[in-house]
Structure 1
């Protein structure tokens, strides 16, 4: 799935990825409390972005459609922990069988399940690994950006989205999400300027915030 999710889906989305906090990951920064986020904030975006699945042919054997659908249903039903356990078992079985390489779809599902369980550090590590193991896929960068943004690390989010677009310049979801990040950066900068006494900055911050809130579904 390479098309961008609707804004409505994105908003509904990050309130829970952080599926459960929504999801997202943490390295040193504390997990974000979704209740503290602005209505336009990244909690709605993270979960929606986290639903994106790699569609690029990685030339590796894929998990059966039935298994993938079932695991996705488990995550959606709130059984993220059980999904992680099964995915780990499948990955170990694959390794023990002597099959080379990692199944991209399983690994991506693991990242989503970890995020849904609010295990953000681990989810981020999965997405980061995918950027190396599957450099042809822009989606891991996209999801990593959502995690950074959910923590307020907007500069890192923008960099990750630029990497997604470097990987695939036609990846519309990342391009649109990058535009959102730039708006958030603008709102933050205007707020900082207002606190420093810049006369018109407060009004610009308000207008930028309203623009973000008014992004149509």
Structure 2
């Protein structure tokens, strides 16, 4: 560690004919613009709940001046937490087995449902796939690539899911939701760290290649909206019981 502080040189012995990860570290993002922005809001009106999320890509953040080609985000995953009271509404019975309702590329069918085949799916997305995943206790929206191939970099995308709860439950008073956003960008480094050179001590001339990849982990606050119905008090959200 002391030698690195003085010389900024890392010495290592790599395995033969293998790729390896040399260094991984965390840093705060100091850039002006993230590659895309996420806005989300959840609305409760009586026994109906709706979450809407929108992705807007920043073309300037994905096109650095030093690189002529447009960068893209990979393995995008956005998680929207679901209160325990709403989980049952995200599942349906199919052949006496629970199956998560999911939507893929705006399919207009209700997957896993024996009835109401023509009805809208619980979860709809304009790109990628989305479904409830119990491991995260959240609706997980996954997108392989942003922007998509052969599509405009400023094309917006959206997710929405609508639930009809068993009673007129509201948003729990102790629920302060944040969406977790994760993605990766090749040939990028959020910290600004650069590899100046790569060399070896022997006379062997290997094929040298360094791949930089930045993994982003962000949190976005989900706006909560409560549409008051006749006789309801918004100050008593979360106090209703299942009937």
Q: What TM bracket, shorter-length normalisation? A: under 0.3
Higher strand share: 2
Higher helix share: 1
**Highest Rg: 1 or 2?**
2
**TM-score, length-scaled by structure 1:** 0.24
